[in-house]
Structure 1
Amino acid sequence: MIVVCHGSAASAATPVVALRPDATAAFDGAVRAVVYAGGTVYVGGDFTRAYAGGRAHAREHLAALDARSGTLLPWHPVADGPVYALAAATGTVFAGGEFARVNDEERAYLAALDAATGDLDARFDHTVDGPVHAAAVGHGRLYVAGEVHRVDGGRRGGAAAFDLSDGRLLDDWRPRANGRVHAVAVAPDRVFLGGAFTELNGTGTRFLAVVDPYSGELETGFRADPRAAVHGIAVADRGVYVATAGTGGRGFAFGPDGARRWTFATDGDIQAVVVVGAMVLFGGHFDHACRTGRTGERGRCVDGTQTRVKLAAAAVTDGRLLPWRADANGVTGVLAMTVDLSVGKLSVGGLFTAIGGAPQRRFAQFSLG
């Protein structure tokens, strides 16, 4: 899962995230992907129903809400399988996942949809051979990653790129990972790839790599060590922040060269990460944040814990645990997060049925003050 912070955290006043969620539509299955575009938040996942206005509404794996009011919108494309990734460009929403058809037309694993109507973009029709787990927009391109080994008959190594102007596959961007790619994030001069790989472009680089946004060549000067498979990446002014699994879970902050700035540990996997002003928010399967970065057998925090259930906040500067707390329930907990400073909202998706002390099923939105 990828998160790009919309708006400028550096130039705006530091936002404060509410402790309780807004009233919004809810869903009958997991929300696995969220993205903002203008005043709309688009969601994707395993669901087939949305709940709003006291009744159920058919929404097969894709839906949209008014970001400011939380109202369910009529946008209603139909995918026949789970959606794992969403990205947005002007007038278009890109969806990736494990589906074969969208709006009753063949679109295996990847589709482009009109952001207003939900209609398929006929120009964007590619043959992809495996599930898409992540997507991001930047540099005039759509970048996708996952179990992607062939696109339009050509070999790929877990990732591919498409031209936003005409939808064509870009043959010159072919990074090659030797394992699944879970996350992709775009920075002004680079693209981050995270996953379960140990090599990229034939060079040993474990779980997190930087490639050129135009050539796909590996940036060998970036040498990070996340220690376990990366599931989420957030790019911000101070560097890059990642969510990892492994024994327990860890969130890492790395500088531009990959040097580790700090480690944040929990007693369960961290699946998602987002930066909101001076806070780095982590979401996942955990029930406690560790007092230090040390964990032991089965993810046990060695030096004591503080309760943080499925959500935790750390300081951007040094990774210390912050008092903000909006616990979620469930075993799986939080799977996706994104923020848009221009509309002043943070969105959280997952398998919870309560969050921040309020009943809210699988999707929640918090206001920024």
Structure 2
Amino acid sequence: MALLAAASLITASASAADGDERTLTADTLATWQTDGIVWSIEYAGGVVYVGGTFDNVRPPGAGSGQQEVARKNFAAFDARTGRLLPCDPSFSGAGDTVRALKASQDGKVLYIGGSFGRAGHAEAFGAAALDTADCSLRKEFRPDVSSYVRAIDVTDGAVYLGGDFTSVNGKRRQRIAALTPNGSLLPFKARIDAPVRALSAAPRFGKIIVGGDFLEVNDEFEFKLVALHPATGKTVTSYPDWLPARSAVKALTRDATNFYVAAEGSGTGIFDGRIAGRLGSGKMVWKDTCLGATQALALHNGVLYSGSHAHDCRDTPGGFTEGNFRQHFLAQSVKNRRILHWFPDTDGGLGEGNGPRALEMAGGVLWAGGEFTTVNGRRQQSLTRFAAGPDRGAPQDPPRLRASSSGAGRITLTWRAAWDRDDARLKYLIYRDGRLVATPTRRSAEWRRPLMTYTDTVTPGSSHRYRIAVTDGENASPMSSALVVTAATTARTKGDR
């Protein structure tokens, strides 16, 4: 059968829809797992660091409780191979969790935040720092933070912490603070009335962008998003009407000109999507209206990747209407918010059932962590990763033929379109009696699988065996079973089904 040869004639598809930005593949790389939730991921110097609420990690493919290696809320992996590294300081006590990781700009220091009372064998209250060269904990950076640290960002001269706390080193600091790289408290100060969950420092623009649950900042209404002066903490930009009172900002990221906001709404139909804004002017660039509690963001080559449980994106270009499914990863064009054709998926998993909680690009590979227990329908707990290629995934739900015959020698084949996680346009290979006779193409998605037809002309009264397969240009589905059809002579008749 010439199936592979026929597939090879098709130009390898871009991973996104025709003309769109190119995405990563939806196929996962072999990745270690944890026995709990991953809340934060950071990349520095060829190493991926993972923080969360877990006691052990286990190899790719290992089931729960199998081949476990002790790692207390923190683990490190080779960014290229995914191999577990021996760097294993534990973070324990208090809330027993690591919530935030951020590397210094030179990659030499990793700042760690969460709710813990010990880092390694020493006391540490909510924040610590690791020398990445030798995986040793820095003795000089041990601030005493009164409650959760949920976000960290770093500039050349400051380490910004955001969270639930109201004091640092015995001094009043309401949900946000700035320290020197050696742990001394800086005069930066702002009054914020509820937890900070995300920080993005943009010193070139004179801003640190802050997101969270708050309604008031520096005694003014600031619904969940504000920009503060990086030295003083005074408000420099407000974002009125960007988010409703019942949404919270869960993540922030930025590129050279824009920043991007991930939101989670509380209640039915409350804003859950993503926003792009100008770093300089503070003006909104675009806003999508997808529902589904966005938790994490990452940028790569003009594409904004997000983790959520999206279930209604009807008003976003390239989106989908409410259905009986949840889509836990999305990719969007940073130019115009269009949803690109990249649809790997997880389950909701443990905890609150949100699936992905953290995203990080590491050397062209997207690492994703969270509370999920499956990825693309296969068992994989809390950690996975996606690369630019190779594309190994065959189209889903391969077609099954139906047939009818009407008119002299006319046979019409009908089938429902298949779909693919990272290719919108698929080619269908139709064989009559073992010979390829047609290669129609069609765009489709999991929620949009149109009916397709092909009409063949043969000798009236003759019988033929038809089979069909589908390819994305690199991978093909198995060939369908044969369907035997007898062509009508003159009168309209039903073919075999």
Task: Give the TM-score of the pair, scaled to structure 2.
Answer: 0.65
Describe the shift of the 1:183–1:221 C-alpha distance in structure 2 as closer, same or farther (beyond 3 A). Answer: closer
The one of 345, 363, 388 aligned to 1:368: 388
The one of 246, 264, 275 aligned to 1:252: 275
1 CA distance for matches of 2:271 and 2:146?
32
Larger deviation, residues 112-121 vs 55-64? 112-121
Deviation at 1:85, TM superposition (A): 0.3
Residue 78 (1) aligns with residue 90 (2): yes
Q: Structure 2: which amino acid aligns with 1:324?
A: W
Q: Which residue of 1 aligns with 2:148?
A: 131
Q: Which residue of 2 aligns with 1:333?
A: 355
8 Å Cα contact 2:143-2:183 kept in structure 1: no
8 Å Cα contact 1:29-1:351 kept in structure 2: yes
Residue 178 (1) aligns with residue 200 (2): no
1 CA distance for matches of 2:196 and 2:127?
15
Describe the shift of the 1:368–1:212 C-alpha distance in structure 2 as closer, same or farther (beyond 3 A). Answer: farther
2 CA distance for matches of 1:86 and 1:291?
34
CA displacement 1:200-224 (0-9 Å, x = unmatched): 1122211111112222221136556
The one of 308, 315, 328 aligned to 1:292: 315
Residue 167 (1) aligns with residue 183 (2): yes
The one of 304, 307, 312 aligned to 2:330: 312
Q: Which residue of 1 aligns with 2:40?
A: 33
Q: Which residue of 2 aligns with 1:69?
A: 81
Q: Structure 2: which amino acid aligns with 1:226?
A: L
Q: Which residue of 2 aligns with 1:265?
A: 289
Q: Structure 2: which amino acid aligns with 1:167?
A: G
Structure 1 runs (4+) deviating above 4 angstroms are 221-224
Between the two structures, name the one with larger relative contact order (CA 8 Å, sep ≥ 6): 1
8 Å Cα contact 1:198-1:205 kept in structure 2: yes
Structure 1 residue matching 2:198: 3-state secondary structure: strand
Structure 2 residue matching 1:325: 3-state secondary structure: coil
2 CA distance for matches of 1:57 and 1:282?
30
Matching of residues 271-290 of structure 1 within 5 Å: 271-284=295-308, 286-290=309-313
Structure 1 residue matching 2:236: 3-state secondary structure: coil
CA displacement 1:33-83 (0-9 Å, x = unmatched): 000001000000011101127621000000000000000000100111110
2 CA distance for matches of 1:357 and 1:366?
15
8 Å Cα contact 1:100-1:106 kept in structure 2: yes
CA displacement 1:157-200 (0-9 Å, x = unmatched): 21111112x33221x21122111111111123321100011121
Q: Which residue of 2 aligns with 1:142?
A: 159
Matching of residues 13-162 of structure 1 within 5 Å: 16-52=23-59, 55-80=67-92, 81-89=96-104, 90-162=107-179
Question: What are the ranges of 5 or more consecutive residues in structure 1 without an aligned counterpart?
Answer: 1-13, 295-300
Q: Which residue of 2 aligns with 1:297?
A: none
Deviation at 1:356, TM superposition (A): 4.0
8 Å Cα contact 1:224-1:258 kept in structure 2: no
The one of 363, 369, 372 aligned to 1:349: 369
Q: Which residue of 2 aligns with 1:243?
A: 262
Number of matched pairs: 344
1 CA distance for matches of 2:70 and 2:194?
36
8 Å Cα contact 1:251-1:264 kept in structure 2: yes
Q: Structure 2: which amino acid aligns with 1:318?
A: N
8 Å Cα contact 2:276-2:287 kept in structure 1: yes
2 CA distance for matches of 1:142 and 1:67?
24
Deviation at 1:131, TM superposition (A): 0.5
1 CA distance for matches of 2:58 and 2:88?
14
8 Å Cα contact 2:293-2:354 kept in structure 1: no
RMSD: 2.2
1 CA distance for matches of 2:45 and 2:243?
33
Task: Give the TM-score of the pair, scaled to structure 1.
Answer: 0.87
Describe the shift of the 1:287–1:202 C-alpha distance in structure 2 as closer, same or farther (beyond 3 A). Answer: closer
8 Å Cα contact 1:224-1:259 kept in structure 2: no
Describe the shift of the 1:211–1:258 C-alpha distance in structure 2 as closer, same or farther (beyond 3 A). Answer: same
Deviation at 1:332, TM superposition (A): 2.1
Residue 229 (1) aligns with residue 248 (2): yes
Q: Kindly, what percent of the aligned residue pairs are identical?
A: 31
8 Å Cα contact 1:86-1:96 kept in structure 2: yes
1 CA distance for matches of 2:161 and 2:85?
26
2 CA distance for matches of 1:221 and 1:266?
23
Structure 1 residue matching 2:91: 3-state secondary structure: coil
1 CA distance for matches of 2:312 and 2:297?
15
8 Å Cα contact 1:114-1:121 kept in structure 2: yes
Larger deviation, residues 318-327 vs 41-50? 318-327
Describe the shift of the 1:84–1:221 C-alpha distance in structure 2 as closer, same or farther (beyond 3 A). Answer: closer
Deviation at 1:15, TM superposition (A): 6.2
CA displacement 1:260-290 (0-9 Å, x = unmatched): 2222233321111122222111212x14241
8 Å Cα contact 2:111-2:127 kept in structure 1: yes
Q: Which residue of 2 aligns with 1:10?
A: none
Describe the shift of the 1:91–1:108 C-alpha distance in structure 2 as closer, same or farther (beyond 3 A). Answer: same
8 Å Cα contact 2:197-2:212 kept in structure 1: yes
Larger deviation, residues 144-153 vs 50-59? 50-59
8 Å Cα contact 2:300-2:361 kept in structure 1: yes
